[in-house]
Amino acid sequence: MSESSTQVDEIAKTGCKENTFKVIKDDPSLEPFYGDLLLRYERYKQLKSEIESKEGSLDKFSQGYTRFGLHRRKGGLEFREWLPGAKELYLFGDFNDWKEPGYPLQRDTFGHFYGFLPDKPDGSPAIEHASRIKLRVLTFDGQWLIRNPAWATFLIQNPTSFVYDAVFWSPPEEWRYSWRSATRLPLPKSLRIYECHIGIATTEPKVGSYAEFTDNVLPRIKELGYTAIQLMAVMEHSYYASFGYHVTNFFAVSSRYGTPEDLKRLVDEAHRLGLYVLMDIVHSHASSNSNDGLNLLDGTDYQYFHHGERGSHPEWGSRLFDYSKWEVLRFLLSNARWYLEEYHFDGFRFDGVTSMLYNHHGIGVAFSGNYNEYFGMHVDLDACVYLMLMNDILHNLFPESFISIAEDVSGMPTLCRPVEEGGIGFDYRLGMGIPDMWIDLVTNFRDEDWDMGRIVYGLTNRRWNEYTVGYVESHDQALVGDKTLAFRLMDAEMYDKMSIFISPTDRIVRGIALHKMIRLITYALGGEAYLSFMGNEFGHPEWIDFPRAGNNFSYQYARRQWNLVEDGTLRYQHLNAFDREMHHLESRHAFCRPHLHQWIMIQHNQDKVIAFEKGDGLLFVFNFHPVKSFFDYTVGVLWPGKYVLQLDSDSLNLGGFDRIDKNVEHFTRPVRHHDRPHSLQLYLPNRSCQVYYCVDMEEE
């Protein structure tokens, strides 16, 4: 399928923009795959043109939520739904006392069903706000099915049947949430993401609410210094223990946390605090639950999904979208836009992108970086084109604010380059190899055997022109069956050895020290943005396990123990304080943003020392040696002048031993070292890290 690079000169003949394949100019290694890039771009361009021709514009096409579903119109309610496998369709519910078959809907040749319910004589709607509705489907083979509308915007669980019922959410004007802040925030200069889950955000063993999160957790996030939140499990999912990744109802926000108006208040308050709001969106697959969700909605297994074996994920047990279908594209594009327009989300973290990109879904594939792994017949071209359309329309609609982050473990080149350059259009990808590296080092190697070169390579091995979100651990590393980094380091001693009134054990001393060092070096070298999962900032000791049959439906591990960090007698406060100091340092002196100076001077394996420059005037020094401290350790630097300590992981208030004299000023000498024109000498306590700032940079 690949074609010769000589065809790059033929771009103009294809009708593409002149810079369409800037990805090849930036990375000549892509030249052998020009044909694949051209095919992908041409398919995208052709589909976009077809949408514009038949639907008026991509803009209009992505507003399907204004036409589909149940809407208040002048004189009544309008309902529209796509069920091509249905012969007849009826709407019934509280409004007709659940009498069957229900209100009949008209079918057109495309499988769209339409109906108009006139207002009552007193002018009130035929279906009242907050009343339940269902679809009654007659298939062509004579089956009667009870289903929820695909475009339903709110559902509640029926206490009798335990299935979810669609609810017509159309509150009176006086009950609707009134937005206070700007519609959305511009992208922060420094993207520092706090990944969080509403339901487990309380100390109590229960399901937390949007309101509790707004009032109790948002202030914590702001105070720590994060600039963005990433909300997980927002889209309705009938199985709580799926962590929100087996979505049943795509346009509905989860009712287990509260109402749509409650979520709007949460987003509004986050914006008031200056927090950019990302949503974890799932377009890679859907729940196989047919009672509540899209599966078998019209009686066929191929309405929204691929038919047969191709339509089921072999490991997740979920359904896989057919991105080649017109109405699937309308549904998903409209779904993404819905959350930006209705709830004022600013951007998305797209889940399971690797599964979308490849027909093999990444299963059993150890991606080595060979470009042949990223192009060819094993790539799902339809999925790529959908992602290009999504990034195209949303970046054009919200050019100053929207960002998209891809969860892709494969490292596909061009994934995070603009569509017009030949890319797929994401802004960032998650640095998913970084936590794996730390887990391996902490679990399988003695401290004295840690390879400094491996650490540096693992943190910096990324495409230079595609941005990465670096992180030590996300929710993935906190799930039951796994361990948080803190628990890997300190294990059961976290339960009874974290008091400040007892001498810390060797394990606790090591764990606290390395937890801080690992976070900071990942923050500074691991990407152009940073992410941490809720609770990991203070070393939350336990995994996450949602209530389920296997644990007797316990909420014991489906919560966050804020009490641990609030208790002034426990060392968790020190880990939390270090997190805050890292972010405040980044606010003062940028070190985790695109286009910053970075130069690594030392990765000394015997000394276990890593040193590098970052940004304008920052010097980072890490001594991972378990026992050896260094006096007058010479470090080469670019900038001459006076260096002042900005952050010291060994500070007493951060859980250290205060071995660094903070009043000492360090001056460079005109002595070349580590291939830098100047040098200075520093004291490097073992298992500690320091950040210095060249104050003379301020005078330049």
All domains in the chain, ordered by first residue: 1-56+352-430 (no CATH), 72-175 (2.60.40.10), 598-699 (2.60.40.1180)
User: Rounded to two decimals, what is the model's pTM?
Assistant: 0.95
Task: Please say if 408 is a catalytic residue.
Answer: no
Tens digit of each residue's pLDDT (9 = 90 or more) over 7-30: 334 443 443 444 458 999 999 999
Q: Are 635 and 689 in contact (CB under 8 A)?
A: no
Which among 339, 46, 55, 225 is positioned nearest to 588, based on CA atoms? 225
What's the confidence (pLDDT) of residue 698?
63
Cβ contacts of residue 445 below 8 Å, gap of 6+?
A: none
What's the confidence (pLDDT) of residue 8?
35
Averaged confidence pLDDT in the chain: 95
Q: Are 35 and 2 in contact (CB under 8 A)?
A: yes
What's the confidence (pLDDT) of residue 131?
97
Task: Please say if 351 is a catalytic residue.
Answer: yes
Among residues 392, 407, 586, 613, which one is catalytic? 407
The Cβ of residue 672 has, within 10 Å, a number of other Cβ atoms equal to: 11
3-state secondary structure of 696: helix
Q: How far apart are CA 422 and CA 17, in angstroms?
A: 10
Q: Are 155 and 249 in contact (CB under 8 A)?
A: yes
What's the confidence (pLDDT) of residue 479?
82
Tens digit of each residue's pLDDT (9 = 90 or more) over 476-516: 988 877 789 999 999 999 999 999 999 999 999 999 999 99
Among residues 81, 322, 351, 408, which one is catalytic? 351
Give the pLDDT band of residue 375 (cuts 50, 70, 90). very high
Tens digit of each residue's pLDDT (9 = 90 or more) over 463-481: 989 999 999 999 998 887 7
Tens digit of each residue's pLDDT (9 = 90 or more) over 209-268: 999 999 999 999 999 999 999 999 999 999 999 999 999 999 999 999 999 999 999 999
DSSP characters over 500-529: TTSPPPHHHHHHHHHHHHHHHHHHHHS-SE
Tens digit of each residue's pLDDT (9 = 90 or more) over 280-323: 999 999 999 999 999 999 999 999 999 999 999 999 999 999 99
